[in-house]
Structures are given as C-alpha cells and as structure tokens.
Structure 1
C-alpha cells in the first residue's frame, strides 16, 4: 500500500498532538511515513513536538516526525497539508473578543467584527501558504481548518482560484454527534441535509438509517436546545461557553422553527442574549488559554521534567474529521461530508461564486457538491447579507480599502448601526497594528 507524507501548517497548535494521534489510530488503513510540523514560532512548535513524538512512541509507530520553519523543507513532496493557522495566537483572539464587547457588540473568534479582524490577519499568511505548497508540492491537497473559514475560503477563491484547497469545519460534525446522542443512535447511522455559509447555516433534515427523525429532533431542541440528556444531568462538568451556545439553540428555534440553526447563528440572531451572558473581562479566549492551552503545556513541562507523558489533550472531532477527509481523497472513497465549496449552482438562488457550506462527496479529484433546492426568502436574505459582508472584508484586506472594511462592518448583522460599525472597526484597526495591511 502507498504511504503518505503529511505537513501540518500551524504545527505549534494545541490540536497537533490530537491530529497525529488520529492519524495513528487509522495507521493500518492510512499509512503515514512522515509528518512534518511547520510553524513560524519554532520554540512553541518544538515543545508541542516533544509531546507529539511521545504519542508516536506509545503506538510503536515508525512514523517520522520533524519540525521546521522553512517552507521548502516542510512542503516539498508531501501528499497533504493540514492547515490550522492562528495568526496572532490566542492573545489576539482575546482582543477580537473584548474590543467589540466593550463597545456593546458581539465579540467572537469567527463571527461578527472579531471574525472579520481575525480574517484580515489570516488572509495574507494563508495565501503565502498556498503559494508555498503550489511551488513545492503541486499535486498536494491543502485541507484547511484555519479560521475564520468562510473569509479564508473566499480569500483563496478570489486570489488563488486554481489552488487545490478543501476548506472544512468540524462544527456541523460536532452538532451531529450531539443529535445522535439525543436520538439515541450511533453517529455512523445519522445523515443530514444542510445549507448555509460557514458558521451561518441550517439543518433541513436529519435521518437515522434513512428514516427522517427531524420533527422529533426539532421538538426536543425547541425545549432543551442542543443540550443532551447526559449534559443536562451533569452540567457542572460541561464547557460553560458551549453549554450556553447549545442552550441558546432553543431560543433560536422558538423564533424560527422551520430548520435547526448552527449554534453560531446565536451571534447574528440573538446577539443581545449572547452579550448579556458574557463576562466582558473574561471571555472565551481567556478560558481557552487557562484550560486547553495550559493543560497541554503543563503536560509538556511534566514530560520535560520527568520523561513521563500525561496526555493533556484529546483527539476529538477536530482530528478525526481532517483525517477522514484526507482518506476520502487519498483512496477515492467518495464519502459524504458537509464542506465549504464554491457554489456553482449547488444552491440555485445564490451566486455561483459564493462559498457555501453544503453536503458533498469527497473524491480523489476533490469535492462533488450535492445540488440543493432553492433557499426560502428569509434564509436567502440572511445569507446574502452575510455573504456581502464576507466578500467586502476580503476586498478590503486585499485592496487596502478602509471604505470597504467599513461597508463590511456596517452590513454585518451583529452590528446595529453604521456609527457603531465605524467605532468597532477603528478600535480593531488600533489593536491589529502590525497584523493588518494599512487601510486607506
């Protein structure tokens, strides 16, 4: 069987050990002879690599692990690049969240003004990455996890339309796992119909072994949200942010009961609820740094001091999803996933050049989107407004246009007025000096 070489761009991420472990768990079916970690933060990456190497040793695997900050060394001759860039790290994520919140607007990592700030930071490095891979591994597929996925996907479509990039997000998978738990069925038996943009979409049907369970699921979600029976009995051990997000699905469904919304739609449909639930001095970014990040680096410190491995991480959906997608490409498995793809008629009443999130079969030649029915007017209107905002922020970043950035912010549904849009934009420009291009 052919063996594969994989590069992980953003090798210093807290998710890296989990992705490598996910690869090792599938090693018999997807043999990887080499994983190369690539990151501009060499010190952090080297620390993460220590723990990752220990994971490989525990599997008695012959997989080779290397680290580099040189793109030629990282990408030359690889079959896949898993991209998980976080430009500015969690310190900048904290600013993405707190600047808008302090001005009375939703602050979030991928949605609203915080998502646009993160997107502008990420576009240039992401395009550079695409160019490196094209130069050193022209046949390789880039499977992109880098957020904000909608803005990144639009930027790549606009700037590098022929690149072999598949943009993915594990949010729908995470929701389906919870739906399977609510419906008391296996994840393998569940399948969904879905339309939208990334972090801005709706489930329109859910099947278990081919039978629709949608009405039953909607009834549960309208009362309990996406909080599972087990979680409701043991809420004190739940992630507080996700518990709120999953609970807020009930409020959205009571307002608009036709479909099941992505949990991220709370930032657009019920922003005031989100703001009222938030500690403006201690946001999600602080919890990530104090929990997931601290746990991983405490495990690394323990490994350095004792030679013993405490995991400090989990595989989770993030790791298994990207590996499953890579396998479907590698072996032409034609598996069905929810993916971010160029529309090209998949949703007939949206523009062809929209980057939409829909079911698609993944083949060795890339994704084959499933054609949807026309989207009802209310949802179409919401999506077109969001799509325009995303396209304008990409144009602002690539053209250096303050006016287009302001238009993007003014159009975004999380921001209540053009005056507030300017105030938030100017605040984010101030904290993003050195990351954003100059906007004139």
Structure 2
C-alpha cells in the first residue's frame, strides 16, 4: 500500500490553485494525496477562503479521500510535509504594476521577469524563499520544494547558491507551451512531440524537435516564421519573427526571446498596450477579479475553462506531473530548473539551468547536451551573470550589487539609466534596506 502524501502549497490563494487541485485529483491512484494544505498571508485571506472552498467542492465531487486545509500559519502547515509547492507574489499585483510601468518611463522594457522588473521581483522574492527553506529544513527536512514562483530560475539559483538545501526544483510552463505550440504547428497530438530543451528559465531554447522520434526542427521553424502561424503566450505579444534570422539561428526560441531579439518592437508594443489597456498587471487584476467571482459560485466544482486566459496555464499540471514522477521514481523526462552539474558546458556546474532531466525519487538528473550553439551561448551566459549578481544583491541587500545587476542586464542600455531606474524603483517599492550611498565628492589631492 502506498504511503499517503502530504502537500503544502504556499500561495494557496492563487487563481492557479484549482488547476493544481485538478491535477492531484486525476492522479490520485498513483499519487495518493491525503492532505493538501493551502497557505497564504493575511492580505490574501479572502482569496484563500474562496479558493479553499472551491478546492473542497472539487475534491468532494471527485470522491477522493483528500483533506483540504486552509491556514495563515505556514509553520503549522509544513510539519512533516512530503512536498512543498510555492506560487506566491511578494507585493501582490500592485508591485508587479510598478515593475512594468516605471522602466517604460526610461524607454526600457517593463516586464515581470525580464530586465528591471525581473530584478526587482527577485529582490523581493528571494529573501522570502530563503525563509521558507529555513522552515522546511526545520519542520520537514525530507520534503521536496517545487517552486514555480517567478523569477523561477533566479529563485532556484538563490536556493542552490545561498543555502545547503538541495531538494529544490524550479518549474515553468514555457517548455510545455513550446512543446504544445510545436504540436499545433504540425497539426499533431502533443504526446507525439518531444523537444530537447536547454538554457535558463525564460531563456530556454529547443535545440531539436522530434515527431515520433524523428527530428522535425526545420519543419517547425519553417512553420513558426510563416505569416499565418506563430507561437507565444497570453502575456507576450506575437509580433512575428524575421524569418531569415530564425532560420539562421537554427534552434527554437521561447516566447520571451522576443524581448532580446525584438527589443524596440516589444518596447513600442508595451508602451501602446500600457496606454490603451494598462500594464499586464492591471489586465491580470481584472482577469483575477472575474475568476474569483466564478470561484465564489457554490455550484462550481471544477476548474473553470476561463483560467486559461490567466497566462500561466499548465504550471500546476506540470507541478503535479513532477511530484508524481518523483514520488513514483518514474524515470521519465521533464524540463525543469535544477543544478547544472556539467550538463551545459559553458554554465557553471553549481548554477541553476533549465534543461531536460530524468526524474527519479532522488530528484532530477540533467541530461548533458555538451554546449549550447555559439549563436545563443553568449546571451545565455550574460543572463546567468545577471541572475548570479542579482541573487547576491537580494541576499546581501547590497545597493552596488543591485546596480551592477541592473546594468549588466542586456535590456538596460546604460549605467546612467540603470541607476535612475534602480533608485526610482527602490523608492517605489519601499526597499529602504538597500541603502543608497552618499554622493561622492571629487576631492583634489595636493
């Protein structure tokens, strides 16, 4: 008989939680979740209760013996947990709106996980994830931490580099979306498609694409650059690609690569969208309002299809699949964020990478690819440098490290703009622990 599983979800009041619950329900025979603890903070209590009640109705409808608990006490929830999933947003959507709007004033991309916005989400999030890890080490040291809080790659990097905890896996829905997008381009079922993924979170490439085991990368690229086709996400405008460039690149880009390869076009699109509809955070706020009105309905006992509009579809299903594979030692292949361990030659062995792994009961085993193609290697290395310095800034609360991270990010064009954006965003977010240095005076030494 299989041992019952206790799962704790931090950020349990998230609009994504019904997908997580659905995933556990449909896998109950192989993953017998007996306890699901949904944890949130006081500011999220109302949403937690709404989502918790929907989760209980879903479980009751499914007829599975899973007990759903809702609590604001993280430590109470974590005791003897087997898996901990994290899906929280420090500062809520108001903070995301600042991350998106302030850089636009300076003619710089304002995006949740890229450029200045990605840096500040990391600065807010990393101290919280490190506190959670301390609690896990004390209360459930054998548990696996499955993180899909953004920026997922930076968060995973921080845990690996700044703690001794190693049972952490970062997760993202981008690779799943790319695989499903390739299947759609080819007009086939996604289960017939496999992709060789390698890179970083939101900086991952499909090095090859297979249909029934045969490479179809060139065919997918041809369709990708067709004016009638495309592959993107709900939160990223599909502006099309320069066909000859993508053919020359020779690998499948992820939707986030538009920010780096089409910076001017994406910046203009962001400015226009922010002026007409508001920032993505403001759009999401309205979507969430509509979703939670649906969730309140006592007659609703399934995940509503409207959730796919939210932009993070498949996150939770990916988490359920990963947990199922670790628990059952499946040895299947999934793309996750984990320690490189030499899988990508030009990335430090102790850094987090997003790569295909064999999933076992002892965690992900990265599948070595040798090295990335030279055409994409430099950009990936630059982003990894940014992530490492950003992690140091977040842990040390160091103004100079934060400025360095901002300046080396390829979306920020100069040190002067980096400093102006950094100073305004520190003030806007109230991050007073990043002490600004006093203005240095040029002294003449005689």
What is the rounded CA distance, in whole Å, between the counterparts of 2:205 and 2:289 in structure 1? 34
Aligned partners of 2:324, 2:301: CA distance in 1, in Å? 29
Distance in 2 of aligned mates of 1:221 and 1:10? 36
- Residues paired across the two proteins, number: 425
1:84 match: 87
| 1:355 matches 2:352 | yes
Separation in structure 2 between the aligned mates of residue 93 and residue 362 of structure 1, nearest angstrom: 33
The verdict on how the C-alpha distance between 1:226 and 1:79 changes in structure 2, with shifts beyond 3 A counting, is farther
Matched with 2:255 is 263
Shift, 1:44, TM fit: 2.6
Inter-CA distance 300–217: structure 2 relative to 1 (3 Å threshold):
closer
3-state SS, counterpart of residue 194 of structure 2: strand
- Return the offset for 1:212: 0.6
Which residue of structure 2 aligns with residue 127 of structure 1?
A: 130
Superposition RMSD on alpha carbons, in Å?
2.2
SS of the residue corresponding to residue 28 of structure 1 reads coil
Structure 2, unaligned stretches of length 5 or more? 438-446
TM-score (norm 2): 0.90
Describe the SS at the equivalent of 2:314.
Answer: helix
Could you tell me which residue of structure 1 aligns to residue 152 of structure 2?
149
Output the CA distance in 1 between the equivalents of 2:386 and 2:159. Answer: 16
User: What SS does the corresponding residue of 1:223 show, helix, strand or coil?
Assistant: coil
Cα shift readout 1:82-120 (whole Å, capped 9, x = no counterpart): 111111111111111011112210011111110110110
User: For each residue in 1:160-181, what CA deviation from the matched residue of structure 2 results, as whole angstroms up to 9, or x when unmatched?
Assistant: 1333111111111111111111
Residue aligned with 1:425, SS = helix
- Report the TM-score when normalising by structure 1: 0.91
> CA, structure 1 residues 253+53, in 2 after alignment: closer, same or farther (shift >3 Å)?
farther
Distance (whole Å) between structure 1 residues aligned to residue 359 and residue 27 of structure 2: 18
SS of the equivalent of 1:260 reads coil
Structure 1: gaps of 5 or more residues: 232-237
8 Å contact kept, 2:225–2:240 = no
Match of 1:60 among 46, 60, 63: 63
**Structure 1 residues 439 and 310: CA distance shift in structure 2, 3 A:** farther
Deviation at 1:223, TM superposition (A): 2.1
What secondary structure does 2:100 align onto? Answer: helix
Aligned-pair CA distance for 1:309: 5.4
Matches within 5 A, 1:144-183: 144-183=147-186
Give, in angstroms, the shift of residue 402 of structure 1: 1.1
Aligned to 2:16: 15
SS at match of 1:385: helix
Q: Distance in 2 between matches of 1:256 and 1:106?
A: 26
Match of 1:217? Answer: 220
Contact 2:340 2:349 in 1 (8 A): yes
Matched, 1:378 2:375: yes
Output one character per residue of 1:209-245: Cα deviation in whole Å (capped at 9) or x when no partner: 11011111111112248637xx9xxxxxx95x44x23
Farther off after superposition, 120-129 or 33-42: 33-42
What is the Cα deviation at residue 253 of structure 1? Answer: 4.5
Partner of 1:188: 191
Shift of 1:354: 2.5
Change (3 A) 1:284 1:253: farther
Aligned to 1:234: none
Tell me, yes or no, if the aligned pair for 1:83 and 1:143 is still in contact at 8 Å. Answer: yes
Q: Return the alpha-carbon distance in structure 2 between the equivalents of residues 426 and 325 of structure 1.
A: 40
Contact 1:204 1:260 in 2 (8 A): yes
Measured after TM superposition, the shift of residue 49 of structure 1 is 1.0
- Equivalent position of 2:269 in the other structure: 277
Q: What is the SS of the residue equivalent to 2:274?
A: coil
